[in-house]
């Protein structure tokens, strides 16, 4: 039972960290949207607008992915909160955590690639 309590505590910590990071990234994407709107209002021509529209679509998609992962984290958190402390750790919770962990690794990699591309774009057009 003590081992399970430690494991569940570690799992809650991971879920909380991921949730916090995703919320930060979502706010960051909203700030990037504002900057893109600022650039669009300057009417800089097609050379600026084509990549701008692409970035807007990528931001919309990223926010959808963030919402999906946050939903999975909420579900996982409920499962952890209602876990039977007398039940053996059967790998089910561990496997689900690994899935979210892998999803976060992929998401973070893609997020920072998009962010780098956006920053290059902003350097050029702001």
Confidence of residue 72 (pLDDT cuts 50, 70, 90): very high
Domain that holds residue 97: 2-125
pTM of the predicted model as reported, rounded to 2 decimal places: 0.84
- Pick the residue with more confidence: 84 or 111? 111
Instruction: Express as a percent the part of the chain with pLDDT over 70.
Output: 83
Task: Choose among 69, 72, 71: nearest CA to 105.
Answer: 69
Instruction: Report the number of distinct structural domains present in the chain.
Output: 1
* Alpha-carbon gap, residue 109 to 24, rounded angstroms: 15
22 with 108: CB under 8 angstroms?
A: no
25 with 111: CB under 8 angstroms?
A: yes
Task: Choose among 7, 38, 5: nearest CA to 121.
Answer: 38
């Amino acid at each position: 039972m003590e081992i399970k309590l430690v494991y569940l505590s570690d799992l809650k910590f991971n879920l909380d960290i991921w949730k916090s990071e995703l919320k930060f990234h979502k706010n960051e994407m909203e700030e990037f949207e504002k900057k893109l709107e600022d650039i669009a209002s300057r009417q800089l021509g097609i050379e600026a607008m084509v990549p701008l529209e692409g970035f807007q679509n990528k931001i919309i998609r990223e926010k959808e992915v963030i919402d999906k992962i946050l939903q999975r984290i909420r579900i996982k958190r409920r499962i952890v909160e209602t876990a039977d402390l007398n039940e053996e750790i059967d790998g089910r919770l561990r496997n689900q955590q690994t899935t979210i962990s892998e999803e976060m690794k992929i998401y973070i990699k893609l997020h920072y690639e998009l962010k780098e591309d956006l920053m290059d774009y902003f350097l050029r057009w702001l």
